[in-house]
Amino acid sequence: MAHLLQYVLNGLANGSMYALVALGIVVIYRGTNHLNFAQGEMALLATAGAWWINDKGVPLAAAILLAAAIAFIGGGVIEFGLIRPAGRKSPFAVVVVTIGLFQGLNSFTSLLFPKVGNGVKFGTLFPNKPADFFRLPGGAIWRYERIGVLVTVLVITGLLFALFQKTKVGLAMRMVANNPESAKLAGVPTNRILMMSWGLSAAIGAIGGALIGGINANINVSTMFGVFLLASAAATLGGLDSPLGAVVGGLSLGVIESLVSNYPKNWVASTYIGADTAIAVAFLIILVVLLVRPSGLFGSSRVERV
Amino acid sequence: MTTTMQSTSAGAPKAWPRPIPDSSPLHWVFRVIGVAVIAAIAIYIGLNATPSTLGNVTEACILAIAAVALNLLLGFNGQISIGHSTFVGLAAFAAGYTVNFWHWNAYWSLVLGIVLCFLLGFALGLPALRLKGPYLALVTLAVAFVWPTVAKKFLEQKVKKNSLKGTHLSPPTWTGLVSKGKDARLDKAIFLYWCGIILLLVAYVVVRNLRKSRIGRSLVAVRDNETAAAVMGVNLKFTKTITFGISAAIAGTAGWLSAARLDVFNDTSFTILNSIKYLLALFLGGAATLLGPIVGAFAYFFLDDYLRSHAPHWTWLPGQLSKGPIASFLLGAIVIAFVFIAPFGLVGFVKDQARRVFIVTPRPLRPALTPSALDDERPEESKGE
């Protein structure tokens, strides 16, 4: 039992990071109905920025917040300068632009911050000395750092929920997600809302990237690639238009990954299933879930009229 | 049909754009010239190029075949796949393994690769029946993500090495490309080059004929509106799964060619990044056009190659920019810029420009109708495709 609890706790920590990047994907998907392939690389650039600001002597927490603020503006600029005009060109154009951004932003990061190209040390916001843990009854240990990451994710989700449900901007965002045409007719400044969605998503990505950097104690240009894939899987599992789904999807993906990579050790299956194939098993589970619920656990399905 | 239209066609005919009836002698002249120019370039390269150039063109052919396969699925049937690197990898592994360990004939391994890819593609087409858009993209992305781990397990368990040797396809004697020693490398390169060109041609013809057939029309109907297509009597399940299968099988030929060209390859040779390359090549050339993926693949491959070899030496770039992965950055920037210059790809762009000079008008539907009645309808119909 202690082992089980331990694996779940480890999984929750990884899962929180997937959940944060997945939240960014969902916020953009709700607004524009496009999967943003550049989400991970946007987070990478922002995280590299946070590292650079921190390197100049600013405390890490302030550096991350500053980077998130810059990312908010940068996300808006990307929407305004690239995504919106591309959307007017052809249906495929936005997909191509995000793929192009994926390619361009990654190398842009190492051009702008050459040190990040080779990997740099990244500090953490939470205490992570060897003795910084909390022992649960049964022997499982819960490191403060992992608690901190999980709490951060839950706090951000709570803030997002409050934003969507309790503020006028959130109401406008929900309107645009629900029906852009009607939202426009009702006087919602659709374009500005979309810009804000992109900015919000980039800022969430910046915080997610900083947490990932903290847990790995390192960032490099390929950090975000795998995380993005898992995060998009998490977002799909939860339903691409549901923020709650992104969090549930991210956390459960982390837990599944952790359990699958640790449990079959004593089984015959261990030749085929193990740490390196945990992701494959996780994807298989997602596939099965999607077959039963084609728009994810919490996603809304749309009825098509002809 | 209306009086205004009759008045324009009855008056002095506009010189440009000039209408060319489909399959008229003039149209055939254009077609023959086009084919002859392409054939001449292909033969010229085959006869004169160095082994490294031939190798590059072969590599571009591999990319083009994969892009043609993706075009059938995404361009014509509207099903996105980021998993095509898996099919390419599967066929390459099948060829490498059967040739090196079971001592198969390399050509039989092509058949095996195509069959395996068709089956896997067909199987992937089944969940695709229920999933749409980004959800399908994710499932195919997952397949591409899982492939390297499966390949790694396969290498560990079956091959007991961390890489697989290529098929070392050698030219048969009737080609006359059997010189020994110094020329052997050139001969092999020439042979692989022609293999690449022929497989690309076959892939093109298969997709072209499919597109122009009854199945092709149902493919496009499904892409444009699934529900409407189903109401019209298109068998959705059959059409979608079979398209996935055929597309995967075509991608498999690209994998077989890779296995013939590469000396060694391993689990990291066919990753998501390859899939993204196929997508970019397709969009660069123009999705949902027959020639688009081929033009796009060659443009992408040689642009990438040029930037990789030249961009690091551009001293006129300011300071920091001349170092680091500038080639990769410029490639991303060019792709994005391209979306704005030519949103429907290179082929779409050329078509738009050509339309200012001449318009190919469709053949009359029923020859029994009077030609003058048809003339009036032509300008409108020519806008299609």
State the residue range of the domain holding B245: 49-293
- On whether any CB of chain B is under 8 Å from the CB of A36, the answer is no
Tens-digit pLDDT profile for residues A172-206:
998 888 888 889 999 999 999 999 999 999 999 99
Contact B363, B23 (CB under 8 A): yes
Chain B residue at shortest CA distance from A280: B146
Rg (CA), chain A: 20
Across the range B152-181, mean pLDDT stands at: 81
Chain B residue at shortest CA distance from A84: B340
Q: Say if B324 falls within a structural domain.
A: no
pTM for the whole thing?
Answer: 0.87
Contact A89 B130 (CB under 8 A): no
- On whether any CB of chain B is under 8 Å from the CB of A96, the answer is yes
ipTM higher than the 0.90 cut: no
3-state secondary structure chain B: CCHHHHHHHHCCCCCCCEEEECCCHHHHHHHHHHHHHHHHHHHHHHHHCCHHHHHHHHHHHHHHHHHHHHHHHHHHCCCCCCCHHHHHHHHHHHHHHHHHHCCCCHHHHHHHHHHHHHHHHHHHHHHHCCCCHHHHHHHHHHHHHHHHHHHHHHHHHHHCCCCEECCCCCCCHHHCCCCCHHHHHHHHHHHHHHHHHHHHHHHHHHHHHHHHCHHHHHHHHHHHCHHHHHHCCCCHHHHHHHHHHHHHHHHHHHHHHHHHHCCEECCCCCCHHHHHHHHHHHHHHCCCCCCHHHHHHHHHHHHHHHHHHHHHHCCCCCHHHHCCCHHHHHHHHHHHHHHHHCCCHHHHHHHHHHCCCEEEECCCCCCCCCHHHHHCCHHHHCCCC
Q: Which residue carries 């969507």 as its tokens?
A: A164
- Count of structural domains, chain B: 1
pLDDT bracket for residue B275 (50, 70, 90): very high
pLDDT at A267: 57
Which residues in A lie closer than 8 A to residue B323 (C-beta atoms)? Answer: 111, 114
Across the range B153-160, mean pLDDT stands at: 85
Contact B320 A277 (CB under 8 A): no
Q: Say if B326 falls within a structural domain.
A: no
Q: Say if B305 falls within a structural domain.
A: no
Q: Say if B345 falls within a structural domain.
A: no
Q: Say if B230 falls within a structural domain.
A: yes
- The domain locations on chain A are 2-225
How far is the alpha carbon of B321 from chain A, nearest alpha carbon, in Å? Answer: 6
- On whether any CB of chain B is under 8 Å from the CB of A277, the answer is yes
- On whether any CB of chain B is under 8 Å from the CB of A269, the answer is no
Contact A111 B231 (CB under 8 A): no
Q: Say if B168 falls within a structural domain.
A: yes
- On whether any CB of chain A is under 8 Å from the CB of B102, the answer is no
Which residues in B lie closer than 8 A to residue A233 (C-beta atoms)? Answer: 138, 141-142
How far is the alpha carbon of A6 from chain B, nearest alpha carbon, in Å? Answer: 26
In A137-273, at which residue ranges do the beta strands (DSSP E only) sit? 141-143, 218-219
- On whether any CB of chain B is under 8 Å from the CB of A128, the answer is no
Contact A236 B279 (CB under 8 A): no
Chain A residue at shortest CA distance from B130: A294
Q: How far apart are CA A18 and CA A303, in angstroms?
A: 30
Tens-digit pLDDT profile for residues A119-128:
888 888 888 7
pLDDT at B14: 61
Across the range A108-131, mean pLDDT stands at: 82
Across the range B266-279, mean pLDDT stands at: 91
Chain A residue at shortest CA distance from B276: A99
Based on the number of CB atoms within 10 Å of its own CB, is A64 exposed (0-12), middle (13-18) or buried (19 or more)? buried
Contact B335 A96 (CB under 8 A): yes
Q: Say if B212 falls within a structural domain.
A: yes
Q: How far apart are CA A305 and CA A286, in angstroms?
A: 28
Q: Say if B253 falls within a structural domain.
A: yes
Contact A101 B336 (CB under 8 A): yes
Query: Is the predicted pLDDT of residue B8 greater than 50, yes or no?
Result: no
How far is the alpha carbon of B159 from chain A, nearest alpha carbon, in Å? Answer: 15
Across the range B161-181, mean pLDDT stands at: 80
